């Protein structure tokens, strides 16, 4: 138990880095981190370095695992399941695939073209940006393991329930016709064999590609987090997003939905909001909305499905996120 606590504090939460940056700010800038300026500089440097370090390590590890589940193999696996078991598998496989909603859309199209049930494809589409292995460790590094694991469980449940509802409603007629022009009907694909060197190079390339794609959002997210953490008065945030405001979860969800960012950029904002007294469910609702319902991904999805199905998808996800948010606010005392 002591070893687990030490690894969690030093490898995930990086308390050694916190102390090192504190010394740097106080010695080099001659600022106390309890002041607004000193605290902002410390928050920005510490969170940026911590996220980038975790980002590099986690993406490499997860990409190596993901190399065993290329799109073709994922199609073959999902093609063996029907009904709710297919939705569960779609949600679970979404945890080892792309890190943002936009990169999930091409796979969603490929799964639909491969003849997979539409509900399974939607379970994957919800789960993929919302829940991944990296988010578990990042959430654990900022909050704790109880919150991280619970977040993943409810995210998978939302993906399964959402996909099941869509499947039961028989909405295939709301898929754009061009998608079905390439339906394979039978999934029978011969996969190339990758060597360890191939997997290593693939993982390294993924780190570079994702780093280039997300670094701006990480810096922006950490900057906003530092601003909220040290400059925005707690009463103002509490009035808008505090638990005493019955609409706080709804506001956080609707504000987060149009944004575009990876979970790596939303976590420092969420950390700062939680520090200011915002309810855990409100914070997680904001994160879920940002990562699952970004405006660019909805625009891409609109080219594949008709407005009625798009509205159904958005409605299911928003209602699910709001329910999860209020549930977390009610039971957060069990996890904090």
- Identify the pLDDT of residue 329: 92
Q: Is the pLDDT of residue 38 over 90?
A: yes
- Nearest Cα neighbor of 52 from 115, 118, 133, 141 is 141
What pLDDT, in 10s, does the model give residues 119-138?
Answer: 888 998 888 878 877 777 77
- Identify the pLDDT of residue 192: 59
- Nearest Cα neighbor of 163 from 120, 116, 106, 105 is 120
Q: What mean pLDDT is predicted for residues 251-275?
A: 81
Backbone angles phi, psi at 30, to 5 degrees: 55, 45
Angle value at C-alpha 299, between 55 and 221, nearest 5 degrees: 30
DSSP 305: B
Backbone angles phi, psi at 245, to 5 degrees: -90, 110
Lowest mean pLDDT among 16-25, 66-75, 157-166, 204-213: 66-75
Question: Rounded to an integer, what distance in angstroms lies between the CA atom of residue 330 and that of residue 280?
Answer: 9
Q: Is the pLDDT of residue 310 over 60?
A: yes
Q: What mean pLDDT is predicted for residues 239-252?
A: 86
pLDDT band at 249 (very low <50, low <70, confident <90, very high): very high
- Identify the pLDDT of residue 160: 94
Question: Rounded to an integer, what distance in angstroms lies between the CA atom of residue 146 and that of residue 211?
Answer: 28
- Identify the pLDDT of residue 102: 60
Highest mean pLDDT out of 37-41, 87-91, 104-108: 37-41
Query: 């879920």: which residue's tokens?
Result: 288
Q: What mean pLDDT is predicted for residues 40-56?
A: 90
Distance of CA 178 to the CA centre of its chain: 30
Q: What percent of the chain has pLDDT over 90?
A: 23
Token pair recorded at residue 39: 């605290």
174-178 long-range contacts (CB < 8 A, ≥24 apart) are 174/305, 174/306, 174/308, 174/309, 175/112, 175/118, 175/304, 175/305, 175/306, 175/309, 176/303, 176/304, 176/305, 176/306
pLDDT band at 323 (very low <50, low <70, confident <90, very high): very high
The neighbour count for residue 97, using CB atoms within 10 Å, is 20
Q: Is the pLDDT of residue 167 over 80?
A: yes
- Identify the pLDDT of residue 31: 92
pTM for this predicted structure: 0.80
pLDDT band at 188 (very low <50, low <70, confident <90, very high): very low
pLDDT band at 19 (very low <50, low <70, confident <90, very high): very high
The neighbour count for residue 323, using CB atoms within 10 Å, is 16
Q: What mean pLDDT is predicted for residues 11-34?
A: 90
The overall average pLDDT reported for the chain is 83
Lowest mean pLDDT among 26-35, 106-115, 175-184: 175-184
Q: Is the pLDDT of residue 187 over 50?
A: no
DSSP 70: -
């Amino acid at each position: 138990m002591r070893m687990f606590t030490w690894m969690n504090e030093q490898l995930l939460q990086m308390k050694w880095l916190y102390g090192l940056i504190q010394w740097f700010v106080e010695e080099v800038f001659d600022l106390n981190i309890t002041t607004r300026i000193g605290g902002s500089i410390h928050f920005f440097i510490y969170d940026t370095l911590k996220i980038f370090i975790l980002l590099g390590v986690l993406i490499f590890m997860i990409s190596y695992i993901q190399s065993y589940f290329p799109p073709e193999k994922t199609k073959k696996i999902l093609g063996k399941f029907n009904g709710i078991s297919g939705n569960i598998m779609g949600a679970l496989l979404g945890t080892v695939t792309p890190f943002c909603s936009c990169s999930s859309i091409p796979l969603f199209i490929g799964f639909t073209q491969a003849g997979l049930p539409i509900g399974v494809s939607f379970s994957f589409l919800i789960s993929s940006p919302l829940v991944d292995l990296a988010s578990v460790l990042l959430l654990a590094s900022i909050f704790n393991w109880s919150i991280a694991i619970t977040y993943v469980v409810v995210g998978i449940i939302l993906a399964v329930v959402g996909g099941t509802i869509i499947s039961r409603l028989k909405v295939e007629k709301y898929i754009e016709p061009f998608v079905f022009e390439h339906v394979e009907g039978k999934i029978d694909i011969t996969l190339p064999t990758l060597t360890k060197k191939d997997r290593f190079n693939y993982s390294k390339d993924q780190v570079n590609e994702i780093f280039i794609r997300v670094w701006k959002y990480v810096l922006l997210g950490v900057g906003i987090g530092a601003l909220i953490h040290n400059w925005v008065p707690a009463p103002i945030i509490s009035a808008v997003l505090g638990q005493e405001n019955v609409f706080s979860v709804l506001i956080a969800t609707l504000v987060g939905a149009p944004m575009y960012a990876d979970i790596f950029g939303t976590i420092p904002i969420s950390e700062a909001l939680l520090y200011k007294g915002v309810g855990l469910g409100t914070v997680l609702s904001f994160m879920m909305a940002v990562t699952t319902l970004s405006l660019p991904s909805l625009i891409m999805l609109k080219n594949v499905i008709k407005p009625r199905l798009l509205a159904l998808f958005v409605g299911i996800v928003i209602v699910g996120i709001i329910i999860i948010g209020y549930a977390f606010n009610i039971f957060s005392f069990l996890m904090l």
